[in-house]
Amino acid sequence: MPGAAARDSLPCVTTSLTGRSVLVAGATGGLGLPIARLLAERGALLTLTARSPERLDVVARELAAPAVPLDLRAPTAAERAVEAAVAAHGRLDGVVHAAGVVAFGPAGEVDDATLEELFALNVLAPIRLVRAAQPHLATSAHEGGEPFVVNISAVVAEQPTAGMAAYTASKAALTAFDAAAGRELRRARIRLLDARPPHTETGLATRPVAGTAPTLPRGLDPSAVAARIVAAVENGERDLPAGAFG
Ligand SMILES: NC(=O)c1ccc[n+]([C@@H]2O[C@H](COP(=O)([O-])OP(=O)(O)OC[C@H]3O[C@@H](n4cnc5c(N)ncnc54)[C@H](OP(=O)(O)O)[C@@H]3O)[C@@H](O)[C@H]2O)c1
């Protein structure tokens, strides 16, 4: 029998995505779209959500998946997204929260609208998604569905970054929620994966809700980041620190 360390290093797929009902929030995004494509390639039954109906429609046609355009800052949006997934596929086995916004600028100059948008989308929306999805994910666990939640936080949760203090705070809050809620969900056999990718070339930094990005070194390839996240789902991982992205 291999020891624990040897077992942990074994490259094995523990979670099959075939036939799993997965809700992807932010499915039109630079990370959400390649993640959705990889999940679809592995046979997952997707439900897609994002804000812009036009962009979402294009992705929904490509992936032949039901889609519900929602502004996830609204308090009821998470519940509606979960209901749409359950209505479409009769069950829910996974949630990927890949929606998010960034803001730049000195902490002393951040305005209320920016603070509210950062925290509504980057923190409150994923917390509400977990809350809305949990009963369905518990049913999935009961039926052997190996349910999971993926929340995309960011490297700044590990490396607080000057000039991005409010964004850093939103991601640190999400990562802290994931650590605490992940322990609770584990008891219900629901896996919560907190992913903290480094800067990635999705264009996110070019469309901040406030401020202007500093000159950034070249970021990671979005396809590689998406592939690492989907591999983590399949491999049963619970934590993807920035260093896991190479
Ligand atoms: N790119 C990076 O360098 C990087 C690094 C670490 C972590 N992350 C995190 O990864 C996540 C995805 O980032 P990304 O680079 O893929 O960004 P992105 O390309 O700008 O995609 C953002 C996604 O969020 C959706 N969205 C924005 N506001 C929304 C709202 N109010 N309601 C519902 N959906 C909304 C967008 O939909 P619409 O197109 O309809 O607006 C889009 O699908 C974010 O949380 C980000 O912080 C990114």
| pLDDT tens digits along 29-72 | 999 999 999 999 999 999 999 999 999 999 999 999 999 999 99
The CA distance from 17 to 104, in Å, is 37
Of the pLDDT bands very low, low, confident and very high (cuts 50, 70, 90), residue 15 is confident
Specify the pLDDT at position 1.
33
Tell me which residue has its CA closest to atom 20 in ligand 1.
204
Q: What is the pLDDT of residue 13?
A: 66
For residue 146, how far is its CA from the centre of ligand 1 (angstroms)? 26
Establish whether residue 121 lines the binding site of ligand 1, counting it when its CB lies within 6 angstroms of any ligand atom: yes
Cβ–ligand 1 distance for 28 under 6 Å, the answer yes
Distance 11 CA to ligand 1 centre (A): 30
pLDDT bracket for residue 14 (50, 70, 90): confident
Residue 56 CA: nearest ligand 1 atom is 40
Task: Evaluate: CB of 80 within 6 angstroms of ligand 1.
Answer: no
Distance 32 CA to ligand 1 centre (A): 7
Q: Does residue 6 carry a pLDDT above 50? A: no
In total, the chain counts a number of residues equal to 246
**pLDDT tens by residue, 140-154:** 999 999 999 999 999
pLDDT for the residue 12 = 58
Q: Tell me: the pLDDT tens digits for 62-113?
A: 999 999 999 999 999 999 999 999 999 999 999 999 999 999 999 999 999 9
The whole-number pLDDT of residue 3 equals 39
Indicate the pTM of the whole model: 0.95
Spell out the residues 6+ positions from residue 93 whose beta carbon is closer than 8 angstroms to its own.
20, 21, 22, 137, 140, 145, 146, 147, 148
What domains appear along the chain, each with residue ranges and CATH number? 15-239 (3.40.50.720)
Q: Decide: 208 in ligand 1 pocket, CB within 6 A.
A: no
Indicate if the pLDDT at residue 18 is higher than 50. yes
The Cα 95–Cα 215 span in angstroms is 33
What is the C-alpha radius of gyration for the chain, rounded to an integer number of angstroms?
Answer: 17
Ligand 1 within 6 A of CB of 98: yes
